Structure 1
Amino acid sequence: MKGRRGLTKEDEKLQTFYDTKNISQYINNNKQEFQEKLLSEAVNVATNIESILKEGNIDLLKNAQKLVLYVVQDRNEELIAFANEEGIAWAKYSLTVAFKLEWVHAIRRTLWYFIKQFDQINKNVNFADNFFELEQKVNDGIDEFLNSFFISYSHYKDELILSQRKLVEHLSVPIIPVSQTVAVLPLIGTFDAYRMDIIQEKVLTDIAKLRILTLIIDLSGISEMDEVTIAHFQNVLIGITLMGAKSVITGLRPELVRQMVHLGINLTRYTETKATLQQTLNDYLS
């Protein structure tokens, strides 16, 4: 169908795009049209733009424009740095990754739509002759962004989980002062080398901070340790000695004693052992 001045509807649509020989400038000049097309391509994200801006202070439309310009201008280092920033921001505010994936795919489709419009307006520049080179540049650039984004996102999440686990482990190592120089450390549950490292860090720090001279370590809540964990536990006892303090182990269960005997491990070189925590407290607090 013909419209005004004998133009088809498609012709009229093309007239809304500025005629420019530079894709970056072309996209900048048609910023409003770009955003409208992008929003129509990412319906689910479009309805959440305001909440994402509010929760994470992330302007999706502004950032989409930035990403597209980095891609078409071959600004790879800036693109990767931007992807890393985005990954951290989305991880920090626990934003939905599915929205990000949908949004970036919508950006890809929108960019190709604008490249097509650009090519139709500027046919005299033989833009399509370099299609395969352009295809590689555009798709590789967006794939590079996605790859860097997810690596950054995952790394931040892993670091957050590790720090939270470390905090929980610190809280699960309660060193309880029972006098000015004596403290008790009850150990409960299962242990691995990682948790033993946390215990060692906590013990050495608190010995210095609380001026502990005797640390009573109650193992009545532990039935077994593997060989590696026992070796780490020995290091904890050695560390206590090097700090100028004394350790006393109480509550060794038969299963754990048999395990140590089987492995040929003798903890009495580094510590004193007593049958029960109550007995030990009576001895040191009387």
Structure 2
Amino acid sequence: MERHQHKEVTEFIVHHREEFQNKLLSEAKEVANKINDILQSGNIDLLKNAEKMVTYVVEGKENELISFAKQEGVAWAEHALTLTLKLEWVHAIRRALWYYLFQYDQQNTHGLNISDYRLKVFEMEKRINDGIDKFLNSFFISYSNYKDELLNAQRKMVEHLSVPIIPISPYIAVLPLIGVIDIYRIHTIEEKVLMDISSLKIRTLIMDLSGITDMDIDVIHHFQRVLSGISLMGCEAVITGLRAELVRKMIHLDVSFDEYAATKGTLQQTLTEYFTTNAMESI
């Protein structure tokens, strides 16, 4: 299609807006049942956005189409709208658009021979389908990127919550660790520990490992580096609750935490010792 024809097609569809929208809704019954809910919950006007998408596709406005697709991807991901609904809606737009392109052709292709008509249809099909495919591709990438960023942020928040540094006096804090410590979590522990030592002015950090049954080799070595960092910040690290399984593994690996941390039996015994010592010093 020539550029002036692009405008003519969009004007034709806008002129028949109500019929186009009804056709669109009849092609996407599942979405049609939820169109008002989507508008109210996400402020997403599906019919208005469909017309915008059709305009960009028909008029070959690729940059605007891709930018719009990215905005749509974020909006759908942000409001937890499903990809299934989006696919149904876009395919409905494709079918409705082709229906009205056919109607337009019926009124504007008189006098073309069959060869020219086939060439025109082929070029139109390529332009329209390529445009819709570009929209879908950009939409899915934007949707996926937003979801990934959201999941990473949520995971980081959960991981930080799983590193609860609890002040028990102006300069002493306890860090009880439970569950599996993988390489990702040990990085979170490192970040949280060093930041909190600085912000809370911690002089002694008691790390209770009674809830940890195992660490792999890389995590054990990284844990040593965390203890080194604690020492470099002028804080005393105390480890309690080392379990037999982990100690045996450290013995076989010829690894020890003694260089950077004091090791004691249970958390309860250690707290009793520290509070008794502090009480005696305050007398």
Q: TM-score, normalised by structure 2?
A: 0.90
- Pair 1:80 & 2:66 matched: yes
Equivalent residue runs for 1:123-272 within 5 Å: 123-124=109-110, 126=112, 128-272=118-262
Aligned-partner SS, 1:22: helix
Identity %: 59
1:71 & 1:55 partners in 2: Cα distance?
27
1:5 alignment counterpart: none
1:56 alignment counterpart: 42
- Residues 246, 21 of structure 1: CA spacing in aligned structure 2 closer, same or farther, 3 A cutoff? closer
State the AA in 2 paired with 1:123.
T
Cα-to-partner distance string for 1:56-90 (whole Å, 9 max, x where unaligned):
00000000001111111111121111111111111
2:51 alignment counterpart: 65
2:154 & 2:6 partners in 1: Cα distance?
53
Aligned-partner SS, 2:184: helix
State the AA in 1 paired with 2:202.
I
Quote the offset at 1:214 in angstroms.
0.5
- Of residues 103, 118, 129, the one that matches 2:89 is 103
Q: Conserved in 2, the CA contact under 8 Å of 1:20 and 1:26? A: no
Aligned-partner SS, 1:217: strand
Aligned-partner SS, 2:110: helix
Quote the offset at 1:130 in angstroms.
1.9
Q: Conserved in 2, the CA contact under 8 Å of 1:238 and 1:270? A: yes
Q: Conserved in 2, the CA contact under 8 Å of 1:64 and 1:107? A: yes
Aligned-partner SS, 1:180: coil
Unaligned segments of structure 2, at least 5 residues:
277-283
- Residues 154, 138 of structure 1: CA spacing in aligned structure 2 closer, same or farther, 3 A cutoff? same
1:226 & 1:24 partners in 2: Cα distance?
62
Q: Conserved in 2, the CA contact under 8 Å of 1:67 and 1:79? A: yes
1:283 & 1:242 partners in 2: Cα distance?
25
1:10 alignment counterpart: none
Unaligned segments of structure 1, at least 5 residues:
1-18
Q: TM-score, normalised by structure 1?
A: 0.89
Aligned-partner SS, 2:180: coil
Please report the RMSD computed on the Cα atoms of aligned residues, expressed in angstroms: 1.7
1:132 & 1:219 partners in 2: Cα distance?
69
Aligned-partner SS, 2:174: strand
